[in-house]
Structure 1
Amino acid sequence: MTDDHPEMDFEEIARRFSHLWQALNHGSPETRKILVDRVRDALDRGEARLHEPDCEIIANSFVLEALIHDGAATRVYRARHRDLGTLHAIKVPQPDHADDPVLRKLMLREAEIGMALRHPRIAATQTVLRLADGRPALVMEWLGSKLADLLQERPLFLSEVIAVTTAVLSGLEAIHAGGFVHCDLSPLNLIADGDLSSLKIADFGIALERGGRHGQFDLVFAGQPDFASPEQLAGEPLDERSDLYAAGCLLSLLLSRCNEESDGTEAMVALANRLSQRTPQDRPENARAALHLLGGSAKCPVVDA
């Protein structure tokens, strides 16, 4: 207001504000709604000058509340929708990667893959925004804690190991049915909101179509070395059995955090070894077959996720 009318003094500003306040308090419901919307729009247009330095708002809709991951190429924030109050995870390129064409292509592919997959054990990708500087921003559902953090808090019961493995294999079954290989299954990309049985698979940043390889995106290697299959480390074409290798490594890790020893534990160890065979042909054919083996190893019916 004062930028457009520098001659306007504080008395005039106060007078206009008083009129606005009276209209907001005594006008008809329709008038109040119109005025509130216009005031909100005006504030949004001037948001860069008005918000606190430590409170960043993007797309006039999301307040970035906390930085939860600060990687070499991307950042992930916990964000709150200003109108709905809902929490979301928002992934953006680092500012110095704003012009990186490979990263941009990967992020848009990640959004396309994530939005094509809908399953209770897969973290939902909700939309893609374009920031003022042209960077894409992926908006995803907020789920809380990474499995990697939860594993540091306490030992696991065997029932929890089975629940996590069931959730992971159920999510993988849906991913593979869509024609994709996740390629980055690890405790860092498994998210839960306290209940391990409700765990979901997140982060499709390096997912491939079945039979693809990361070299086609000019990536020498992508993934977590401790969970990547031998064929992924070698840069070979990948299918669903590569994800099963990672699931076997994950199961071995879960069992190392388990505080129970029983026949059921030994059966799960055998399953972990079967999944993480170095030769793809020695692993189960797909996630459905692995779920069948899990049901037998756990000596209980596999819950349909």
Structure 2
Amino acid sequence: MADDHPANFEEIARRFSHLWQALNGHAGKAHSPDIRKILIDKVRDALDRGEARLSDAEPAIIANSFVLEVLVYDGAATQVYRARHRDLGTLHAIKMPRPDHADDPVLRKLILREADIGMALRHPHIAATQTVLRLDDGRPALVMEWIESRLADHLQERPLSPREIIDVMTSMLSGLDAIHAAGLVHCDLSPLNLLFDGDLAHLKIADFGIALKAGCRHEEFDLAFAGQPDFVSPEQATGEPVDGRCDLYAAGRLLSLLLSHCSTECDGKLKALAIRLSQRDRQDRPENAKAALHLLGGPAERPVDF
């Protein structure tokens, strides 16, 4: 508190006492539960505005439940915020179209489709999609679990040990196995979409914005090209129907990137797996994520046939 406004705790206590009395009614007449809930919510709104004055920023509250705290991604068409649930105090990631894309029917369709896909997938190595909201202006807002760190940022901070590289690949391939078992292809694996909280062994796959059912093409959704150029498979880049081996190509490219950040000389088996996964012809890649996991974790005493 500023020096020219010293704290008067007796006055603060008196005002909160009056506030509590107002919430509970006067002269022994209590408010109905509905009225009391409305009054409490108005107090909460006022407190949120008070916090905003202290931070010189007006909080954006959506669905009367989430305070948008930090803009963490500001793309050409979408934005992602870190949000706090006002009652539970939990953190969430909320993805929505930019305000100037509120009337974009293709983008709206893609976000609702992403919500539908994400809510159908539940796995320890897949970032959870929790619900979808409709904002006052009609935009959909996708609510997901908040995960603090991206693999892309971590790679810029320090090298990885061979154990950490194996942890990343095990987590990612386990998540892919669940995605492919649901008949889906992620189509956008890269360090930007791999998230974790502290432990790389708990890494999760996020962002299903351009995921497809196996056998589909992106042109069916008015997307001429989709995916990260350094990780997208040749067949996906040329618009062919996708299958799980498209994600395995991206996994191979990712493994090569991880090995370039290795703190020591890594096992030659990992280098061989990176080459095998990222073969240009999908027929030369492992059949599926489960097969790739087997190659990654094959017993040391038994040679693995690459």
TM bin, normalised by shorter chain, reads 0.7 to 0.9
Letter of the 2:249 partner, please give it: Y
Q: How many corresponding residue pairs?
A: 282
Superposed CA deviations along residues 68-105 of structure 1, whole A, max 9, x for unmatched, are 00011100000000000000000000111111111111
Q: Which residue of 2 aligns with 1:40?
A: 40
Superposed CA deviations along residues 182-237 of structure 1, whole A, max 9, x for unmatched, are 00000000000111110000000000000011000111101101000000110110
User: Structure 2 vs 1, CA of residues 188 and 111 (structure 1 numbering), >3 Å: closer, same or farther?
Assistant: same
2:87 aligns with one of 53, 61, 83? 83
Farther-moved stretch of structure 1 (162-171 vs 23-32)? 23-32
SS state of the match for residue 131, structure 2? strand
Q: Which residue of 1 aligns with 2:282?
A: 280
SS state of the match for residue 73, structure 2? strand
User: Structure 2 vs 1, CA of residues 63 and 189 (structure 1 numbering), >3 Å: closer, same or farther?
Assistant: same
Quote the offset at 1:22 in angstroms. Answer: 2.9
Farther-moved stretch of structure 1 (82-91 vs 20-29)? 20-29
Q: Which residue of 2 aligns with 1:22?
A: 21
Distance in 2 (CA, whole Å) between partners of 1:54 and 1:109 is 31
Letter of the 1:239 partner, please give it: D
Quote the offset at 1:266 in angstroms. Answer: 1.1
**Paired residues of 1:214 and 1:235 also in contact (CA < 8 A):** yes
Are 2:75 and 1:71 aligned? yes
User: Structure 2 vs 1, CA of residues 298 and 44 (structure 1 numbering), >3 Å: closer, same or farther?
Assistant: farther
**Paired residues of 1:268 and 1:298 also in contact (CA < 8 A):** no
Letter of the 2:181 partner, please give it: A
Are 2:64 and 1:60 aligned? yes
Quote the offset at 1:18 in angstroms. Answer: 9.3
1:1-305 correspondence to structure 2 within 5 Å: 21-24=20-23, 36-42=36-42, 52=52, 53-262=57-266, 265-296=267-298
User: Structure 2 vs 1, CA of residues 150 and 283 (structure 1 numbering), >3 Å: closer, same or farther?
Assistant: same
Quote the offset at 1:40 in angstroms. Answer: 2.9
Fraction of identical pairs, as percent: 69
Quote the offset at 1:38 in angstroms. Answer: 2.3
Distance in 1 (CA, whole Å) between partners of 2:125 and 2:88 is 24
**Paired residues of 1:193 and 1:199 also in contact (CA < 8 A):** yes
Q: Which residue of 1 aligns with 2:12?
A: none
User: Structure 2 vs 1, CA of residues 195 and 18 (structure 1 numbering), >3 Å: closer, same or farther?
Assistant: closer
**Paired residues of 2:23 and 2:40 also in contact (CA < 8 A):** no
Letter of the 2:233 partner, please give it: S
Distance in 1 (CA, whole Å) between partners of 2:162 and 2:214 is 32
Superposed CA deviations along residues 241-267 of structure 1, whole A, max 9, x for unmatched, are 0000000000000010001115xx211
User: Structure 2 vs 1, CA of residues 25 and 261 (structure 1 numbering), >3 Å: closer, same or farther?
Assistant: same
SS state of the match for residue 64, structure 2? coil
User: Structure 2 vs 1, CA of residues 18 and 202 (structure 1 numbering), >3 Å: closer, same or farther?
Assistant: closer
Q: RMSD of the alignment, in Å?
A: 2.7
Distance in 2 (CA, whole Å) between partners of 1:29 and 1:78 is 41
Structure 1: runs of 5 or more not aligned? 1-16, 301-305
Distance in 1 (CA, whole Å) between partners of 2:65 and 2:133 is 11
Quote the offset at 1:20 in angstroms. Answer: 6.2
Q: Which residue of 2 aligns with 1:4?
A: none
* Length-normalised TM-score, structure 1: 0.85
SS state of the match for residue 152, structure 1? helix
**Paired residues of 2:114 and 2:208 also in contact (CA < 8 A):** yes
**Paired residues of 2:125 and 2:202 also in contact (CA < 8 A):** yes
